[in-house]
Amino acid sequence: MGRGRQKAKQQKIARKLKYLTTDTDYDELAKELNSQEPGTGSFDPFADVEEQYAHESGEGTKSESSPVDDDLDEYAKWAAEAAAKAASDEQPAQHTPVKPHKPIHMPLPSAMKPKPHPSDESAK
């Protein structure tokens, strides 16, 4: 089938879907949705898979602490110490004065150099 005919068919189907009026029975839809027991269905399609792998790998037990939790605890301690240090405005014990830098001479390209005015040359 040629590209033109294929496109025309797709447009015809799209037009049908756009302007098709159907009578939706909202009461029947509400009954169907409410017929499910609460808590049985999940909006997360991967929730069942996550539970399965959590049970298989033993992550479901909270009796042991994981290394990630330990790392987070250490980070929390460090962050608390850093925040306390910043809040107390501690100054460093040795403060060395900063030496001023000498300016660096940058040569100008000849195109950017100021050109002498013609009246200046005649005065010489």
Locate the domains of the chain by residue range. 7-32
Residues belonging to the chain: 124
Give the model's pLDDT for residue 91. Answer: 57
Q: What residues in the chain have per-residue pLDDT under 50?
A: 60-61, 63
- pTM for the whole thing? 0.21
Give the model's pLDDT for residue 73. Answer: 84
- Distance, in Å, from the CA atom of 32 to the CA atom of 26, rounded to the nearest integer, reads 10
What pLDDT digit, counting tens, does each position of 89-109 carry? 655 556 677 788 888 888 888
Give the model's pLDDT for residue 123. Answer: 55
Cβ atoms of 54 and 60 closer than 8 Å = yes
- Distance, in Å, from the CA atom of 23 to the CA atom of 120, rounded to the nearest integer, reads 94
Where does 28-108 show beta strands of DSSP type E? none
Give the model's pLDDT for residue 124. Answer: 53
Give the model's pLDDT for residue 41. Answer: 57
